A and B are shown apart, each in its own frame.
Chain A
């Protein structure tokens, strides 16, 4: 089974909808929020400076060659005499002088933007602690009130129009946190906490991706940032804080027990005996749009396929193939479907 054959549908559908995303959810030529907008302007600025420089130099080279070139073909080269024709040192003065001005201008603009986006204008409303793992993301919404700390994976909801503090910690190897439409990259490095912030100034779904090479499935380490109005965000937060509902069909109840036995050492489902912390928290699995960090859309079929043989979906993933009996698989599937 091919990952690539299913993933396209996901992204095409998921990110093409907002007109501004333009079918390119990872593009950083547009930005939506106080952290991204000044950088987009600077990016376009240096792109235009660069294009102008390339055009000028190319023109100088091409025109320079064509205006006094020797007749072609010429044999031998020595037929053209050697002369030191005039002083051309003025080229260096002008060329280097103008270049230096452009460079200093860019430098000043850079420092201004750097200072501008270094910290948000107002105190962040929400702090999320995000860890990069091989090959998925965990997110913990921090709070002084322990009962309001919630943990999720691969999908981050934020209130729109507010800066969000992001604390980045490393779980295993180095990864890099990147939501191009909202902010540039910050690495998650084991042994240190990096702090950054993001802000979305309009509701939407923004794609994120690991951008520090981290091993076999670096390619499939995406995540989604869902920016929504404050009331929707709070509704989501309340729902996520709840433990999982107890299953009510016999199949799902058997599935819960199988899940605790087979999956609970790695995964957590709050409200059950499954309390592992090395893999994504699945308490509200069915509220998420994708499986395995954006590898496939979260559909019933994909979920069953993923549990049955994760290596086929995402070769090298640390989730082992469990070789479960067919009945156990369908029970677990039935249970997972209840985790709204």
Chain B
């Protein structure tokens, strides 16, 4: 009997235009609305993730500006206390959950297969599903905000204030169900990244040759898989308490307010690392391109990424130093919170050494990446200060921590992301962003950000508490808050310049070509934008810098990007072994499908039913969920899933 198609030995060939045309027909997404809802192309999904995350970034930014108007002067009444509370809570929810991780998922989604030499993510339909659930959960939570039932207990949502007796109304129910819903997206996305990493790397791309961005998203995904269940559980218990009178957090019946804090921060702190490690990876990969040399200390940086995440599981109690836990326990968490700075130091010195020993070419992307080192350091040392228990007893819940977390989130997430946009926009669109607007963009953001957030440290040290809708004059907060507000508007203008540049360059930007930055990694070996199939032939990789090998001359053999496995019997890519990336299997990749979208819609309907106690809707949605999954998973002959039939 002839071997089945998936068991054949794949032919090796050379990429050619004719051949590419055939592949394009196989991999193309249908144009128009049909393709929009059915595509599983990681590039389209990745860009969608980034655009959607930026929509949320702008919403969260506008919320911040309204708060900064309220806080610009003492004793203002622009907002009622309840409006302010919903604004700061929604701002936190938006930036942390709907912007910071999704934007990185977007970059990783777009870049991973291109960096790894694969034709798509390992589980393309799951990828599309992850996006649809993210959008649906975001809309779900924003519907609450729009009807005046946004979260009003901060993103951390402490009980008992979040419990029914103190917080009637639907705010907490929107937030609790929305977070459980969003957790589905994060979880399946994380699983997809893990499988993609371990199975779809190009032959020869052993685990010590993957870009640092991959290490970042890998560790973030592993962490998310472990910690998202904790927060989903916490929100589920809260919802049960509120709707069905369970007593998980009900003090009168022996419930424990601190249980919430443990569950939340066991999730919350690793999450912070999950939303910075991939961004740090972007800097580790982007910076060397502009320094014209490989990253100094690849192995220490990769290992420090993993070490940060592992230590990151052991620091959650530093959010709870003031809750009355015993000093001995606090000492351990204090130690972990201080020592976690060591792997960060590895990254900082690796970047600095790369700049110092390279020949920096100043571009907008480089400015964002290199300034991030300084912002990272400021956010890092202020974090180190909060790690010291007695100091944290003073710092915690003051504006010092607000300053700290914005240096972390804006400095280590947004700055690399904007740098990443300048760096990869040419790849995504085929056009360059304007460098002149870019300089204005960078300096306005950088100056505005520091005017807004450096003085905030001081207003915190002078004792301004967080989450207050106003403050009295004459106790040291007045002029500093005015400066902070002015800085925040300058910063907002900087972000606006980015949008202007993007919109303008989409039409009028210079044509980029395949590799405008002369960068070393595989995504730059294909056209800009890349064809739907990414690689006409699967590349073969022998180093970390496939496109720099001729100049580095570090070994005899060369990576091959124009000759390799053809894999053209329908949608195919190669599966390789987890560590050494030896070819292992032919992967039959699924066609486009409406089912990820349908499943997302069905789940949204189900959560709406739960929210409104429309149990009939929950039942209908449950049936729709089951049906979508069955259709999604129905065995397909082309994928070699029907036993005994050779396709």
Chain A positions within 8 Å of B, measured between CB atoms, are 2-5, 7-12, 15-16, 22-29, 38-39, 42-43, 46-47, 49-50, 53-54, 57-58, 60-61, 64-65, 67-70, 72-74, 76-78, 80-86, 88-89, 91-92, 94-96, 99-100, 103, 106-107, 109-111, 113-115, 117-118, 134, 168, 170, 172-174, 176, 178, 180, 183-187, 189-192, 194-195, 207, 209-219, 315-316
Q: With A8-B473, A77-B363 in contact, is A185–B322 under 8 Å at CB? A: yes
On whether A54 and B378 interact (CB within 8 A), knowing A60-B352, A85-B357, A89-B297, the answer reads yes
Enumerate chain A residues within 8 angstroms of B358, measured Cβ to Cβ: 68, 85
B377 touches A92 (CB 8 A): no
Could you tell me if B390 and A23 are in contact, using CB atoms closer than 8 angstroms?
Answer: no
Tell whether, in the assembled complex, residue A91 and residue B381 are in contact, meaning their CB atoms are under 8 Å apart: no
The answer for the CA separation of A277 and B323 in the assembled complex, in Å, is 26
Closest B residue, CB atoms, query A109: B388
In the bound complex, CA of A47 to CA of B350 (Å): 24
Known contacts A11-B475, A77-B516, A213-B158; 20 additional CB pairs below 8 A are A3-B470, A8-B473, A49-B381, A57-B352, A57-B374, A57-B377, A61-B352, A65-B360, A69-B361, A81-B551, A82-B520, A85-B357, A91-B349, A92-B349, A92-B350, A95-B348, A110-B390, A114-B330, A184-B393, A209-B463
Selected from A80, A213, A215, the residue in CB contact (under 8 A) with B292 is A80
Given contacts A24-B475, A68-B358, A80-B361, contact A43 B352 (CB under 8 A): no
In the complex, how many angstroms separate the beta carbon of B288 from the nearest chain A beta carbon? 9
Q: Contact between B327 and A315 (Cβ–Cβ < 8 Å)?
A: no
Contact flag A27-B463 (CB < 8 Å), given A54-B378, A65-B355: yes
List B79-126 residues whose CB lies under 8 Å from chain A: 80-82, 85
Q: Are A103 and B166 in contact (CB under 8 A)?
A: no
Chain B residue with the shortest CB-CB distance to A96: B345
Total interface residues on B, CB under 8 Å, equals 101
Q: Is B257 an interface residue (CB 8 A)?
A: yes
Among A85, A118, A173, A210, the residue within 8 A (CB) of B465 is A210
Assembly CA distance A337 to B549 (angstroms): 87
Contact of B348 among A46, A57, A118, A215 (CB under 8 A): A57
Query: What A residues does B353 contact at CB under 8 A?
Result: 88-89, 91-92
Cα separation A38 to B393 with both chains bound (whole Å): 13
Q: A72-B362, A110-B389 are in contact. Are A10 and B472 (CB under 8 A)?
A: yes
Query: Which B residues contact A (CB, under 8 angstroms)?
Result: 74-77, 80-82, 85, 153-154, 158, 160-161, 166, 251, 254-258, 289-290, 292-294, 296-297, 300, 322-324, 327, 330-331, 334-335, 338-339, 341-342, 345-346, 348-350, 352-363, 370, 373-374, 377-378, 381-382, 384-385, 388-394, 396-398, 435, 461-476, 516-518, 520, 548, 551-552, 554
15 contacts between A and B (CB under 8 A): A9-B474, A69-B360, A80-B361, A88-B296, A88-B356, A89-B296, A110-B334, A110-B389, A174-B160, A184-B390, A185-B394, A189-B258, A190-B160, A216-B82, A219-B470
Other-chain contact of B161, A11, A47, A91, A214 (Cβ < 8 Å): A214
Check A189–B394 contact: CB distance below 8 A. Answer: no
Q: CA–CA, A207 to B647, complex, Å?
A: 79
Give, as a whole number of angstroms, the nearest-CB distance from A282 to chain B: 24
A185–B153 Cα distance when bound, in Å, is 20
Docked CA distance A69–B359 (Å): 5
CB of A336, distance to nearest CB on chain B (Å): 24
Question: Which chain A residue shows the least CB distance to B73?
Answer: A4
Contacts of A73 in B (CB 8 A): 435
A213 contacts B345, CB within 8 Å?
Answer: no
A64 and B154 contacting across the interface, CB-CB below 8 Å: no
Bound-state Cα–Cα, A57 to B355, Å: 12
Chain A residues, Cβ within 8 Å of B357: 85-86, 88
What B residues does A11 contact at CB under 8 A? 472-475
Which of chain A's residues have a CB closer than 8 A to the CB of B471?
A: 4, 219
Enumerate chain A residues within 8 angstroms of B338, measured Cβ to Cβ.
103, 106-107, 110
Task: Tell me how far the C-beta of A150 lies from the nearest C-beta in chain B, rounded to whole angstroms.
Answer: 25
Residues on B with C-beta less than 8 A from A67 are 356
A108 CB to nearest chain B CB (Å): 10
In the complex with contacts A64-B356, A91-B296, A111-B331, A25-B324 CB distance below 8 A? no
A302 to chain B, nearest CB (A): 14
